Amino acid sequence: MTGAAFFITSDQFHCGVSLLVGGGPGRHRMLDPAGPQAGNIEWLYWVIFWILLVVFVLTIAGFARAAARTRTSATEMLPIVKDPEGDRRAHWAVGSAVAVTVLTLFAILVMSVITGKKVEGLTSQNPITIQVIGHQWWWEVIYPNAQADQTVTTANEIHVPVGKPIVLLTNSADVIHSFWAPSINGKRDLLPGYSSAFWIQIDQPGVYHGQCAEFCGLQHAHMGFSIVAESASAFAQWQERQLKPAPDPADPEPRRGRQVFLTHACLMCHTIRGTGAGSRFGPDLTHLASRSMIAAETLPNTRGALAGWIVDPQRIKPGNQMTPNPLEPDDLEALVSYLGTLN
Ligand code: HEC
Ligand SMILES: [Cu+2]
């Protein structure tokens, strides 16, 4: 199924998160589609909704009519009557109701299949390809290119150009996750060891929120992502910037911060291109400062939040795969200054 039957009004969710970050995490509504796939799913939702509403009204009307016509009281014994004519009418009524039900369900099945097919594939000769790999509990995002040095790697924030068909190649590094941005498309499971393709297209510029939709362990609820849909030129600029290695910081404080990064455990798990840190266990931090949130939409990307996260990520997101880093305060200050230069 396409996930069409799930309907979320996310106002409460919005409130909670906007309190946290001041802005809100972006559009997150199945009934507010921003592209052809979500549009098709919304169409199916409303078709089924109206059919069910008619069925509901007819059913209640039938009951009400039967109740109104029954003249016996509850205590009275019902007389046994032989009424072949009435039996025939009753058979006919029940038979045709069953036929109408089966036909309606069949029509819904056909429409579901058609919607599924439409959502399945956009035909495009040269779509943009983005690889999305689920991790407990964050999203690795790669824009592959035949030339290794033209490959962009980022986390949790997916940039796409507006109005362009995009193929998401999905996979998982550990357990089953599910990629779901309700304004964009239905859910797609990310299965370990199994790559599959998933089309999206976003026709309205904006920021869209998404969430892991398959329970994947302790921090499943803190596994959000965002999709930033922007003009082709803004996207090209973003991509160009992401391709650059991290610059050498000019000021002494961030220079020292880089030293802190490279002499502590950070480099065992993170990449910052342009430095010696090249591990892909955790998110690529080369352009960390260009992202608006950290830890899969758990915290805003501010100095304070970064410092808190680095010192004790386990208090913020218990069970996550980053180990605590009890740093001296001035080392931490310098490190956070350095991370702030990674835009
Ligand atoms: C044991 C591996 C490991 C070590 C060591 C480690 N990290 Fe991490 N880090 C991770 C993982 C995994 C995540 C993703 C956590 C999540 O969101 O669930 C992460 C997330 C982050 C993030 C948020 C990135 C984003 O875009 O969401 C920052 C910033 C970060 N780490 C900085 C550091 C710094 C600085 C150090 C060294 C002081 C460090 N990490 C040490 C594994 C590690
Ligand atoms: Cu998940």
pLDDT digits (tens, 9 = 90+) for 172-231: 999 999 999 999 999 999 999 999 998 999 999 999 999 999 999 999 999 999 999 999
Cα angle for residues 250, 251, 254 (degrees, 5° grid): 100
Q: Identify the pLDDT of residue 120.
A: 81
Ligand nearest to the CA of 280: 1
Distance, CA of 217 to chain centre: 17
pTM comes to: 0.86
Q: How many angstroms is it from 318 CA to the middle of ligand 2?
A: 15
Check pocket membership of 134 for ligand 1, CB cut-off 6 A.
Answer: no
- Region for residue 120 given its phi and psi (left: phi exceeds 0; alpha: psi -120 to 50; beta: otherwise): alpha
**Count of structural domains, the chain:** 1
Tokens 């009435």 identify what position? 86
Reduced 3-state DSSP string for 46-102: HHHHHHHHHHHHHHHHHHHHHHHHCCCCCCCCCCCCCCHHHHHHHHHHHHHHHHHHH
In the numeric block, which tokens belong to residue 113?
Answer: 């299949």
Q: How many angstroms is it from 309 CA to the middle of ligand 1?
A: 8
Check pocket membership of 242 for ligand 1, CB cut-off 6 A.
Answer: no
Q: How confident is the model at residue 12 (pLDDT cuts 50, 70, 90)?
A: very low
What percentage of the chain reaches a pLDDT higher than 70? 91
pLDDT digits (tens, 9 = 90+) for 225-274: 999 999 999 999 999 999 999 999 999 999 999 999 999 999 999 999 99
Check pocket membership of 322 for ligand 1, CB cut-off 6 A.
Answer: yes
Q: How many angstroms is it from 32 CA to the middle of ligand 1?
A: 34
Separation CA 166–CA 164 (nearest Å): 6
Separation CA 336–CA 310 (nearest Å): 9
276 within some domain: yes
313 within some domain: yes
280 within some domain: yes
Q: Identify the pLDDT of residue 289.
A: 95
Check pocket membership of 323 for ligand 1, CB cut-off 6 A.
Answer: yes
Check pocket membership of 282 for ligand 1, CB cut-off 6 A.
Answer: yes
312 within some domain: yes
| Domain that residue 256 falls in | 252-340
CATH (domain of 291): 2.60.40.420
- The residue among 309, 298, 303 whose CA lies nearest residue 155 is 298
233 within some domain: no
Q: Give the nearest ligand 1 atom to 291 CA.
A: 26
pLDDT digits (tens, 9 = 90+) for 114-136: 999 888 866 677 889 999 999 99
Check pocket membership of 185 for ligand 1, CB cut-off 6 A.
Answer: no
Residue 280 pLDDT > 70, yes or no?
A: yes
283 within some domain: yes
Separation CA 249–CA 167 (nearest Å): 36
Residue 279 pLDDT > 80, yes or no?
A: yes
259 within some domain: yes
Residue 16 pLDDT > 90, yes or no?
A: no
Of 98-102, 146-150, 258-262, give the lowest mean pLDDT range. Answer: 146-150
Q: How many angstroms is it from 188 CA to the middle of ligand 1?
A: 26
Q: Identify the pLDDT of residue 23.
A: 43
Cα angle for residues 323, 246, 219 (degrees, 5° grid): 30
Which residue has better confidence, 15 or 227?
227
326 within some domain: yes
Whether residue 185 contacts residue 198, with contact meaning beta carbons closer than 8 Å, is answered with yes
pLDDT digits (tens, 9 = 90+) for 293-334: 999 999 999 999 999 999 999 999 999 999 999 999 999 999
